[in-house]
Amino acid sequence: MTMAAELPKENFRLSMLIFDTRYRSYTIQAVVLGLFILLIVWLGYNVDRNLDERGKELSISFLWQRAGYDIPQTLIPYTNDNVHFRALLVGLTNTLAVAFCGCILATILGVVIGVLRLSNNWLVSRLMTVYVEVFRNVPLLLWVLLSYVILTETMPAPRDFRVTDEMAAAGEAPAAAMSFFDTVAVTNRGTNVPSPLLERGFGSVDLGFVSVNLTFLAIVLVIAGSVYSYRRLKSHARTVQESTGVRPVTWWKSLLILFAPIIALMIALGLHWEVPVLKGFNFQGGILVAHAFTALLLALTLYTAAFIAEIVRGGIQAISRGQTEAAFALGLRPNRTMSLVVLPQALRVIIPPLISQFLNLTKNTSLGVAISYSDLSGTLGGITRNQTGREIECVFLMMAIYLSISLTISMVMNWYNRSVQLKAR
């Protein structure tokens, strides 16, 4: 019996890097990588040479210099005697506050509008269509400016809330009145809301560059523990239902788990509310929410909700009509069909483009600089950059921070997207 001889192994030649398809892709990648590295080196060399000509060098030591400027609205303690790094943290927290609230509100509003666009009511569906087309076809900056102008020019001044002796004697009401049982005052300077105060607390720990409030940390831990326990309860109820066919009653346990711990903690800490009161020429006490924050949040919410509505509408329409008909055949009402059958399946189509909208909303918070909102672009990219003359360092730091925030959002949303995907058995 004849055996086929093994083919001789071909010796490697340099020409194979170009003409052999087994190696050509590696050659192209190596060349592109080399050109990219050369470009980075060339840019770095030019930047370093230009800085040397101006007597500068790349350094972030300016972050530990005194800032010397005030920030109107802060979520963490700050004075003009703090360093620029502290101002950076204030701007970062303001950016995250707008982005977090905007993502939640835009999602809720976008889902509602997206569902209503598919309504059988002709008037409702057309009104939602007009909303979507108007908001997504006008630049976001114009909505930000319009919201700010409306809030600052149409709201009453603090003096309009004053009741003089003559007005009291004549039984006349002031030109403006507080809302929500006389606890909230909306003026042309901002929105004054009650402030939560605690009689007792756990103090704070100073870590040098930042101070950690132990009371706030305890509140976060209690809320996180309640949410974790609630998820465990729902998982246990689902397991019991799958094994016995009977869903255990969990609504009162859910309410108890979610609200009892935080209420008990607040009572233990002595929670009470400080209501704003008109004294002199302005309201004193409570929390002043600047119109810059409100206008930016309102514009971002309305603008992004228009895009999310289209994403939701497309996701719902991607679900087979037979799913809805089967739910109707089982006797489910339209609203229950939408919440229990259609939307859970549509999430698999909705979430990937929804991530992009969250990223866009977070980056669009930088437009707050147009209305003097002290976010990251207003502090680090604005006053700090102008005071220190460190344009390159400030811009690179802003790019790195925005990149980190975007990657974090993408990671969290991709994890959630994987959790709702169909699992192969």
Q: Give the pLDDT score at 8.
A: 54
pLDDT classification of 52: cutoffs 50, 70, 90:
confident
Check whether 210 has a pLDDT greater than 80.
Answer: no
Residue type, 60: I
pLDDT classification of 227: cutoffs 50, 70, 90:
very high
Cα–Cα distance between 355 and 151 in angstroms, integer? 30
Cα–Cα distance between 80 and 280 in angstroms, integer? 26
What confidence tens digit (pLDDT) does each residue in 149-169 have? 999 998 888 888 888 878 777
CB-CB contact of 307 with 136 (8 Å): yes
Check whether 66 has a pLDDT greater than 50.
Answer: yes
Residue type, 192: N
pLDDT classification of 422: cutoffs 50, 70, 90:
low
Q: Give the pLDDT score at 311.
A: 93
Mean pLDDT over each residue of the chain, to the nearest integer: 86
Cα–Cα distance between 300 and 361 in angstroms, integer? 7
Q: What is the mean pLDDT of residues 65-90?
A: 88
Check whether 309 has a pLDDT greater than 50.
Answer: yes
Question: How many other C-beta atoms can be found within 10 angstroms of the C-beta atom of residue 346?
Answer: 23
Query: Nearest 10 degrees: CA dihedral of 390, 398, 378, 48?
Result: 20
| Chain length of the chain | 425
SS3 296: helix
What confidence tens digit (pLDDT) does each residue in 112-132 have? 999 899 888 899 999 999 999
SS3 204: strand
Q: What is the mean pLDDT of residues 256-281?
A: 89
* Full-model pTM: 0.83
Q: Where are the beta strands (DSSP E) in 280-404?
A: 282-284, 287-289
pLDDT classification of 22: cutoffs 50, 70, 90:
confident
- Two tokens, residue 199: 């009689």
343-364 and 84-116 helices, crossing angle to 10°:
140
Which of 219-228, 327-336, 382-391: highest mean pLDDT? 219-228
Residue type, 317: Q
CB-CB contact of 226 with 258 (8 Å): yes
SS3 212: strand
Phi, psi (rounded to 5 degrees) for 296: -65, -45
SS3 202: coil
Percent of residues, the chain, with pLDDT higher than 70: 95
Cα–Cα distance between 19 and 214 in angstroms, integer? 66
Q: Give the pLDDT score at 1.
A: 47
Question: How many other C-beta atoms can be found within 10 angstroms of the C-beta atom of residue 257?
Answer: 19
Sheet harboring 287-289: ordered strands across?
185-187, 190-193, 287-289
391-420 and 343-364 helices, crossing angle to 10°:
180
The alpha carbon dihedral of 109, 111, 116, 118 has a sign of positive
Residue type, 91: G
Check whether 362 has a pLDDT greater than 50.
Answer: yes
Q: Give the pLDDT score at 229.
A: 93
Question: How many other C-beta atoms can be found within 10 angstroms of the C-beta atom of residue 390?
Answer: 22
pLDDT classification of 286: cutoffs 50, 70, 90:
confident
SS3 309: helix
How would you label 261-288 residue by residue, b for 16+ Cβ within 10 Å and e otherwise?
beeebeeebeeeeebbebeeebbebbeb
Query: Nearest 10 degrees: CA dihedral of 355, 361, 366, 370?
Result: 160
Q: Which CATH superfamily is domain 63-153+289-420 in?
A: MetI-like (1.10.3720.10)
Domain coordinates in residue numbering, the chain:
63-153+289-420
